[in-house]
C-alpha cells in the first residue's frame, strides 16, 4: 500500500507549474551572474529541473511503498534522483540546443560542480515541497476518517438507547391492555413478537432502505391498532422511486410514537397518522403528521427526558448529516402536528 503516493502523484498540473516557476527563477539567477543568455539558461534549467522531479517521483514510487516505515529511504532516493535528473537534463538540453556541455566540464569544472550542487539542493526542495503537501493531505484524510468513525459510533450509541425506549413504551401499553381486554392483549403480544423479530436485524445496521423503514412503521402501527382499535387510522405514502434510499434505522419510530402518545391518545375519538416521503431538489423529506390534539408549545424547543425520542432523532441527524440534516415541527395548531425530517439524497 502507498497511502500518501496518490496525493503526491495526484495532479500533474499542480506539480508542473511550481516546478516550472522555480526553474525559471533559477534560470534568471544564472543569467544575472553568468555569461549565457536567458533563453539558453531557461532550456537547461527546465530540462534539468523537470527530469530531477521525474526521477525523484519515480524513485519514491518504487522504493518508498510505506511512508510511515520507509521514509528514511528518501535520503538515498533524492540525491540519486537529482544526479540522474541533472545528467539527463544536460544531455537533453544539449540535444535541443545543439551544444556540448562536456567541454564546459573540462574548461570550468568548479562551475559545473556548482550547478550539480544547485540541482541537488533544488531536488531536495521540490521533493520536500510535494511530500509536505502530500503528508498534509493525508493528515486531513485521516482526520476525516476518524470523524466519520466517531460519527458512526455515536449513531450506534444513540440507536442502542432508542430501541429500549420504544420497547418500554410498548410494554407499558401492553400492561394496561391486559387488564382491560385479555384477548386484544394477546393479539398485541403476537404483533409485538413479530415486530421485534423483524426489527432486530435492521436495528443492528447503520442504515437500511427507506422501504424497510416504512415496513417497520407498518408493523408498529398495526401493533398500535390492536390496542386503540377504530380510534387509530394511518396512511404510509412512499413513492417507488425513493424506496431504495438509505436512511438510519428506526429514524421515524420516535416521531410516530410521539403522535400516538401526545396527539391521538388524549383525544377521545382518536385520529389518523400519515407518514409520507418525497423529494425536494437534492433533499429527501420525510413527514409525520397527525390529527390529534395539537400543541400550544413550540415543538422545536422540546427538551428533557419527557422528549427523549425527539432529542434522539435530532442528535442522529446532526451526527450523520451535520447541518444538512434537520427535524422541523410545523407551527403549533389546534388540530394536530407535523414533523418534517430532511437530509441529502444519496445519489
Element (H, E) at 288: strand 283-290
Q: What does the DSSP assignment read for 74-104?
A: HHHHHHHHHHHHHHHHHHHHHHHHT--HHHH
Contacts of 232 (CB under 8 A, 6+ apart): 221, 224, 225, 260, 264, 270, 271, 272, 273
Looking up cell 524513485, which residue turns up? Answer: 59
DSSP 8-class letter at 71: G
Which residues face 338 on adjacent strands? 289
pLDDT computed for residue 157 by the predictor? 57
* Residues lower than pLDDT 50 in the chain: 1-12, 158, 162, 304-305
pLDDT computed for residue 295 by the predictor? 72
- Short-list 125, 3, 119, CA closest to 64: 3
How many CA atoms lie less than 13 Å away from 71 in the CB half-sphere?
11
Helices (H) and strands (E) in the chain, counts: 11, 7
Rounded to the nearest 10°, the torsion over CA 249, 251, 256, 257 is 80
- Short-list 60, 49, 52, CA closest to 3: 60
pLDDT computed for residue 112 by the predictor? 59
Looking up cell 485521516, which residue turns up? Answer: 142
pLDDT computed for residue 25 by the predictor? 78
Whole-number Å distance between alpha carbons of 136 and 133: 5
Whole-number Å distance between alpha carbons of 214 and 212: 5
pLDDT computed for residue 305 by the predictor? 47
pLDDT computed for residue 5 by the predictor? 41
Strands (DSSP E) contained in the chain are 208-209, 232-237, 246-247, 271-280, 283-290, 326-329, 338-344
- Short-list 301, 198, 313, CA closest to 252: 313
297: helix, coil or strand?
A: coil
Q: What does the DSSP assignment read for 234-254?
A: EEEE--GGGTT-EE-TTTTHH
Cell, residue 303: 427538551
| 206, 154 contact by CB (below 8 A) | no
pLDDT computed for residue 4 by the predictor? 39
- Give one word for 219, left, alpha or beta, with left for phi > 0 and alpha for psi -120 to 50: alpha
Over residues 322-336, the pLDDT tens digits come to 889 999 988 655 678
Every domain of the chain and the residues it spans = 5-144, 181-344
pLDDT computed for residue 87 by the predictor? 82
pLDDT computed for residue 312 by the predictor? 78
CATH no. of 181-344: 3.30.565.10
Amino acid at each position: 500500500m502507498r497511502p500518501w503516493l496518490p496525493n503526491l502523484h495526484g495532479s500533474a498540473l499542480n506539480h508542473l507549474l511550481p516546478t516550472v516557476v522555480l526553474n525559471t527563477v533559477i534560470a534568471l539567477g544564472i543569467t544575472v551572474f553568468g555569461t549565457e543568455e536567458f533563453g539558453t539558461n531557461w532550456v537547461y534549467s527546465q530540462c534539468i529541473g523537470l527530469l530531477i522531479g521525474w526521477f525523484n517521483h519515480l524513485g519514491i514510487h518504487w522504493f518508498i511503498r510505506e511512508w510511515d516505515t520507509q521514509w528514511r529511504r528518501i535520503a538515498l532516493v533524492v540525491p540519486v534522483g537529482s544526479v540522474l535528473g541533472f545528467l539527463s537534463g544536460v544531455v537533453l538540453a544539449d540535444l535541443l540546443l545543439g551544444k556540448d556541455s562536456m567541454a564546459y566540464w573540462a574548461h570550468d569544472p568548479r562551475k559545473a560542480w556548482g550547478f550539480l550542487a544547485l540541482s541537488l539542493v533544488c531536488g531536495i526542495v521540490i521533493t520536500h515541497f510535494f511530500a509536505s503537501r502530500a503528508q498534509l493531505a493525508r493528515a486531513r484524510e485521516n482526520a476525516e476518517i476518524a470523524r466519520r468513525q466517531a460519527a458512526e459510533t455515536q449513531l450506534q450509541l444513540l440507536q442502542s438507547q432508542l430501541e429500549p425506549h420504544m420497547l418500554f413504551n410498548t410494554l407499558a401499553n401492553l400492561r394496561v391492555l391486559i387488564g382491560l381486554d385479555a384477548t386484544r392483549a394477546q393479539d398485541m403480544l403476537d404483533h409485538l413478537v413479530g415486530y421485534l423479530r423483524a426489527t432486530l436485524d435492521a436495528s443492528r445496521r447503520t442504515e437500511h432502505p427507506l422501504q424497510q423503514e416504512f415496513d417497520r412503521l407498518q408493523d408498529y402501527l398495526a401493533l398500535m391498532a390492536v390496542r386503540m382499535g377504530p380510534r387509530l387510522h394511518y396512511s404510509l405514502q412512499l413513492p417507488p422511486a425513493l424506496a431504495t434510499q438509505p436512511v438510519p434505522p428506526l429514524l421515524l419510530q420516535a416521531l410516530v410514537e410521539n403522535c400516538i402518545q401526545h396527539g391521538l391518545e388524549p383525544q377521545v375519538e382518536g385520529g389518523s397518522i400519515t407518514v409520507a416521503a418525497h423529494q425536494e431538489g437534492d433533499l429527501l423529506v420525510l413527514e409525520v403528521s397527525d390529527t390529534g390534539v395539537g400543541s400550544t408549545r413550540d415543538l422545536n424547543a422540546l427538551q428533557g427526558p419527557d422528549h427523549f425520542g425527539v432529542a434522539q432523532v435530532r442528535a442522529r441527524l446532526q451526527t450523520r448529516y451535520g447541518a444538512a440534516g434537520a427535524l422541523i415541527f410545523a407551527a403549533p395548531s389546534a388540530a394536530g402536528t407535523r414533523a418534517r425530517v430532511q437530509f441529502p439524497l444519496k445519489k
